[in-house]
């Protein structure tokens, strides 16, 4: 499995290190061009400055190829600025002019809604599937998910507030799993079975079930 990290701006080196911690055998490659994007089986969109990342995606000819790979179901984990870029809607916030977004996650997001750098904070987050203990959430000039649309599903909460969503194979978080030493969330994403593979598996199971009574009858 080749894991790509979008490496045009932001904290992509931290992502590369965190992925290696979560799975020491993973092949982690930077993605800066459409050719590199074509070759990955999983993608991380790091935190950073969403307006800068959006501009660099455009300049590197990555915007449309990324939109296409997302629509084809490329498993993607987007953090903070990455989540902003995948949102369907942005609600004007304190982050200056908003960037254009790719719309892969049916959420409305408001940039910098917890305040600026000085209001960055750490707090325990409850994550679906990580039952043993809360996850240490690192929030840096974080966006707020102000609305979860019908197609997205909440998967992480800070108190009652949704701070992570998923839609098919695409996960979006307002906090930074790569900046904590807890590798569970990135490991869970790497281990998640892409929705298309899931469908094939279910089909195989159904076929096995159907053939079983016939085989029994033939005995
Ligand atoms: N505030 C940044 C933005 O609006 C996101 C911050 C982050 O990725 N940590 O793009």
192-204: pLDDT as tens digits: 978 776 555 444 4
| pLDDT tens digits, 137-170 | 999 999 999 999 999 999 999 999 999 999 999 9
Query: Pick from 4, 168, 157, 13: which is nearest to 86 by CA?
Result: 168
- Among 15, 36, 49, 176, the active-site one is 176
Q: Specify the ligand 1 atom closest to the Cα of 95.
A: 4
The residues, any chain, with a CB within 8 Å of residue 203's CB and separated by 6 or more, are none
Q: How far apart are CA 169 and CA 81, in angstroms?
A: 18
3-state helix, strand, coil in the chain (%, to 5): 35, 30, 35
SS3 category, 211: helix
DSSP 207: H
Q: How far apart are CA 54 and CA 100, in angstroms?
A: 7
Task: Give the chain's domains with CATH numbers.
Answer: 2-218 (3.40.50.880)
Tell me if residue 122 is catalytic. no
């Amino acid at each position: 499995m080749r894991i790509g990290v979008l490496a045009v701006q932001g904290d992509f080196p931290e992502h590369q290190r965190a992925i290696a911690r979560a799975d020491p055998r993973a092949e982690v490659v930077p993605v800066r061009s459409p050719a590199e994007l074509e070759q990955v089986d999983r993608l991380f969109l790091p935190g950073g400055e969403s307006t800068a990342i959006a501009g660099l995606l455009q300049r590197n000819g990555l915007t449309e190829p990324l939109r296409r790979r997302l629509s084809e179901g490329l498993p993607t984990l987007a953090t903070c600025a990455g989540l902003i870029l995948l949102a369907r809607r942005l609600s004007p916030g304190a982050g200056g002019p908003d960037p254009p977004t790719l719309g892969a996650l049916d959420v409305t997001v408001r940039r910098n809604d917890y305040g600026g750098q000085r209001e960055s904070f750490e707090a325990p987050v409850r994550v679906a599937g990580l039952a043993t203990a809360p996850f240490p959430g690192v929030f840096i000039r974080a966006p707020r998910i102000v609305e979860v649309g019908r197609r997205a599903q909440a998967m992480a909460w800070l108190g009652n507030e949704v701070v992570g969503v998923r839609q098919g194979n695409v996960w979006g978080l307002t906090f930074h799993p790569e900046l904590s030493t807890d590798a569970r969330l990135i490991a869970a994403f790497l281990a998640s079975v892409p929705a298309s593979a899931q469908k094939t598996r279910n089909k195989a199971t159904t076929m096995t079930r159907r053939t079983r009574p016939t085989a029994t009858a033939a005995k």
